[in-house]
């Protein structure tokens, strides 16, 4: 985040990465959608003194009220760091928070299956993820149905296909895969269909250890190399208010011990599991995130973590979650201020509460995304495909949101303004009332001048009717089908694939690993 002009920001770094991952559009247009630096000035919603007051209040919450921590091992780790443990209640002193913040890394690389897909986690970067964690999938061909491996595979392929989705997310829950082997099925899909950074659910040490091993095999790493840098990440949702359950606490410990990245994300819906005010909800979220960060740093000082929050409001009439609301945008902006106070990379999110891929859902996703972008989020989660407040991922919305995310990526790219761009010669060449279609300045640039849309249709009304009067949702069906047909999945070395499948077969034979509740 910087207040320098959009064009300047990108100048300063990432050129090598850009070149490596440059996507070639039709007409030779090249824009790197992988290595994004956020060019927008950070927008505050509160004064610095109020942000400081929220931080202090969060410290008071941790010190006076504490967190309810359900995992005994976690309580022991907290106690070892100086926390006051009283039954399941863990009271965390300000000094412990300060110590944790002094060891949590402010910038680190996270490794993918190829160097071009690596990312750097630090303030000022921007990585976008598709919508994730949905129990259902929906598309116009197959309808709305419980998530299954087919949907998981397709969603993974689509995430791989589009450069603007720089990381793999929790995607859709494949309920046709038995829970004790589901982590094997999903992680195999992530590692064989994509070379982007994989997501691992924290559903107990057994599953997590399996996934770590699969990543080590697929990436061709020995234990030392795997432990040296993060190669995957998990998302830790606290149980707001003020509770850390067993799998989440275990996940924080397991990932920290292994040197892998935890994305700490209290899910604080204002008026439900958090106070009804932006300031109160953000304070609670901040306290819980700090508690989780403390656990990671006590487990292993320097463990890679990503601060985060997912704070929106509920509909006070129905209790339904709402996204893209003014309160959601403001919460994103406020959390960004708190993240900058800490200096840590952080994860935000957008979302859509509506049940269909329509104008409402588009507005909601875009508003939430602007909130995250203007707040300087390092990771923007649920950027594409979410509907029903995350209960469903829509393949069509994945495509219509993809367009929006690509426009954000375009806005991260520099805009030249040399004398040649200012184009006095062209202004001299074209006479009053004329047009620039054929002038030399245009001819030299027209094929690369503009972003070329994926789904937007700008044809006139008559042509549009002739072509079947299909709205963006309908057109998106063709697009994701074609993308699935066109996707280039990475080639995993045969020996690694064989080793991966041997490992999976062994673990299946041993009964897999049941999820921990």
Please answer whether residues 294 and 300 qualify as being in contact, where contact means their C-beta atoms are separated by less than 8 angstroms: no
Shortest distance (Å) from residue 61 CB to its own copies:
6
Please answer whether residues 131 and 383 qualify as being in contact, where contact means their C-beta atoms are separated by less than 8 angstroms: yes
Shortest distance (Å) from residue 443 CB to its own copies:
9
Q: Considering the rule CB under 8 A, would residue 397 count as an interface residue with its own copies?
A: yes
Q: Considering the rule CB under 8 A, would residue 355 count as an interface residue with its own copies?
A: yes
Nearer to its own copies, 216 or 382 (CB): 382
Binders of its own copies among 62-121, rule CB under 8 A?
64-65, 67-68, 89
Q: Considering the rule CB under 8 A, would residue 318 count as an interface residue with its own copies?
A: yes
Instruction: Tell which one of 122, 148, 358, 478 touches its own copies (CB under 8 A).
Output: 358
Helix H or strand E segment including 84:
strand 84-86
* Cα end-to-end span (Å), the chain: 39
Instruction: Tell which one of 147, 204, 230, 353 touches its own copies (CB under 8 A).
Output: 353
**Strand 233-236 vs strand 261-264: parallel, antiparallel, or unpaired?**
parallel
Nearer to its own copies, 225 or 320 (CB): 320
d(CA 314, CA 303): 34
Instruction: Tell which one of 86, 319, 466, 482 touches its own copies (CB under 8 A).
Output: 319
Of 245, 241, 323, 324, give the one whose Cα is nearest residue 282: 241
Q: What is the size of the binding site for its own copies (CB under 8 A)?
A: 128
Q: Considering the rule CB under 8 A, would residue 143 count as an interface residue with its own copies?
A: no
Of 339, 383, 342, give the one whose Cα is nearest residue 361: 383
Task: Point out which residues pair with 138 in neighbouring strands.
Answer: 144, 394
∠ CA 41-45-48, rounded to 5°: 90
Nearer to its own copies, 156 or 309 (CB): 309
Shortest distance (Å) from residue 353 CB to its own copies:
4
d(CA 141, CA 309): 35
* Binding range to its own copies, per CB under 8 A, among 116-124, 155-163, 289-297, 391-399: 391-399
* Per-position x/- string for 362-381, each x denoting binding to its own copies as judged by CB under 8 A, each - no binding: xxx-xx--x---x-------
Binders of its own copies among 473-512, rule CB under 8 A?
473
> For the chain, how big is the Rg over CA atoms in Å?
23
Nearer to its own copies, 261 or 273 (CB): 273
Which residues 6+ apart lie within 8 Å of 170 measured at CB?
132, 133, 199, 201, 235
Residue in the block written with tokens 């094929």: 447
d(CA 307, CA 72): 24
Binders of its own copies among 230-249, rule CB under 8 A?
239, 241-243
Nearer to its own copies, 57 or 107 (CB): 57
Instruction: Tell which one of 186, 250, 260, 283 touches its own copies (CB under 8 A).
Output: 283
Shortest distance (Å) from residue 170 CB to its own copies:
20
Q: Considering the rule CB under 8 A, would residue 315 count as an interface residue with its own copies?
A: yes
- Phi, psi angle pair for 143, to nearest 5°: 75, -170
Q: Considering the rule CB under 8 A, would residue 407 count as an interface residue with its own copies?
A: yes
Q: What's the Cα-to-Cα distance from 4 to each of 152, 188, 333, rounded to whole Å? A: 40, 43, 19
Shortest distance (Å) from residue 104 CB to its own copies:
24
Shortest distance (Å) from residue 159 CB to its own copies:
19
Of 278, 280, 233, give the one whose Cα is nearest residue 260: 233
Which residues 6+ apart lie within 8 Å of 72 measured at CB?
none
Nearer to its own copies, 260 or 392 (CB): 392
Of 118, 372, 132, give the one whose Cα is nearest residue 232: 118
Q: Considering the rule CB under 8 A, would residue 6 count as an interface residue with its own copies?
A: yes
* Binding range to its own copies, per CB under 8 A, among 16-24, 224-232, 343-351, 435-443: 435-443
* Binding range to its own copies, per CB under 8 A, among 78-86, 313-321, 488-496, 508-516: 313-321
Shortest distance (Å) from residue 29 CB to its own copies:
11
Task: Report how far Cα 416 is from the mean position of its chain's Cα atoms.
Answer: 29
- Number of Cβ within 10 Å of residue 506's Cβ equals 9
Q: Considering the rule CB under 8 A, would residue 350 count as an interface residue with its own copies?
A: no
Copy the structure tokens of residue 249. 């606490």
d(CA 165, CA 408): 12
Q: Considering the rule CB under 8 A, would residue 271 count as an interface residue with its own copies?
A: yes
Shortest distance (Å) from residue 493 CB to its own copies:
39
Instruction: Tell which one of 95, 176, 457, 495 touches its own copies (CB under 8 A).
Output: 457
Beta-sheet strand order (sheet of 89-91): 84-86, 89-91, 67-69, 243-244
Q: Considering the rule CB under 8 A, would residue 12 count as an interface residue with its own copies?
A: no
Instruction: Tell which one of 4, 19, 84, 505 touches its own copies (CB under 8 A).
Output: 4
Sign of the alpha-carbon torsion through 33, 35, 41, 43: positive
Instruction: Tell which one of 140, 145, 180, 441 touches its own copies (CB under 8 A).
Output: 441
In the three-class reduction of DSSP (H, G, I as helix; E, B as strand; rest coil), residue 464 is classed as helix
Shortest distance (Å) from residue 385 CB to its own copies:
12
């Amino acid at each position: 985040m910087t207040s320098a002009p959009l064009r300047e920001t990108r100048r300063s770094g990432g050129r090598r990465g850009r070149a490596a991952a440059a996507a070639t559009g039709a007409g030779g247009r090249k824009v790197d959608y992988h290595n994004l630096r956020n060019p927008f000035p950070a927008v505050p919603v509160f004064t610095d003194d109020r942000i400081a007051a929220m931080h202090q209040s969060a410290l008071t919450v941790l010190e006076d009220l504490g967190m309810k921590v359900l995992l005994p091992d976690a309580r022991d780790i907290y106690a070892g760091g100086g926390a006051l443990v009283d039954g399941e209640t863990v009271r965390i002193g300000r000094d412990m928070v300060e110590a944790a913040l002094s060891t949590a890394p402010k910038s680190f690389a996270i490794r993918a299956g190829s160097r071009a897909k690596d990312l750097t986690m630090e303030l000022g970067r921007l990585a976008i993820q598709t919508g994730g964690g949905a129990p259902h999938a929906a598309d116009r061909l197959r309808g709305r149905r419980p998530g299954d491996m087919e949907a998981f595979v397709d969603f993974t392929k689509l995430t791989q296909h589009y450069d603007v989705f720089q990381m793999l997310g929790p995607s859709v829950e494949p309920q046709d895969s038995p829970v004790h082997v589901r982590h094997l099925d999903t992680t195999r899909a992530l590692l064989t269909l994509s070379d982007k950074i994989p997501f691992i659910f924290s559903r107990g040490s057994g599953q997590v250890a399996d996934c770590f091993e699969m990543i080590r095999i697929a990436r061709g790493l020995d234990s030392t190399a795997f432990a040296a840098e993060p190669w995957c990440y998990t998302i830790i949702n606290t149980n707001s208010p003020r509770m850390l359950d067993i799998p989440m606490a275990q996940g924080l410990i397991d990932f920290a011990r292994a040197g892998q990245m935890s994305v700490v994300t209290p899910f604080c819906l204002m008026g439900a599991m958090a106070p009804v005010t932006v300031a109160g909800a953000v304070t609670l979220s901040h306290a819980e995130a700090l508690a989780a960060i403390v656990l990671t740093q006590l487990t292993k000082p320097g463990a890679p973590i990503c601060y985060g929050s997912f704070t929106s409001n509920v509909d006070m009439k129905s209790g339904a979650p709402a996204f893209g609301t003014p309160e959601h945008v403001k919460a994103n902006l406020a959390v960004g201020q708190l993240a900058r106070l800490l200096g840590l990379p952080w994860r935000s999110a957008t979302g859509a509460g509506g049940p269909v891929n329509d104008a409402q859902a588009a507005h909601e996703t875009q508003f939430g995304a602007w909130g995250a972008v203007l707040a300087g989020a390092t990771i923007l989660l649920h950027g594409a495909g979410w509907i029903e407040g995350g209960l469903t991922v829509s393949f069509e919305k994945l495509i219509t949101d993809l367009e929006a995310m690509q426009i954000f990526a375009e806005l991260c790219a520099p805009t030249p303004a040399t004398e040649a761009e200012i184009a006095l010669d062209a202004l001299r060449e074209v006479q009053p009332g004329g047009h620039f279609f054929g002038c030399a300045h245009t001819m030299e640039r027209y094929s690369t001048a503009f972003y070329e849309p994926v789904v937007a249709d700008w044809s006139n009304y008559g042509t549009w009717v002739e072509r079947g009067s299909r709205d963006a949702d309908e057109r998106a069906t063709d697009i994701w089908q074609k993308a699935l047909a066109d996707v280039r999945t990475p080639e995993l070395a045969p020996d690694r694939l064989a080793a991966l499948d041997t490992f999976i077969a062994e673990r299946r034979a041993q009964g897999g690993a049941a999820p921990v509740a």
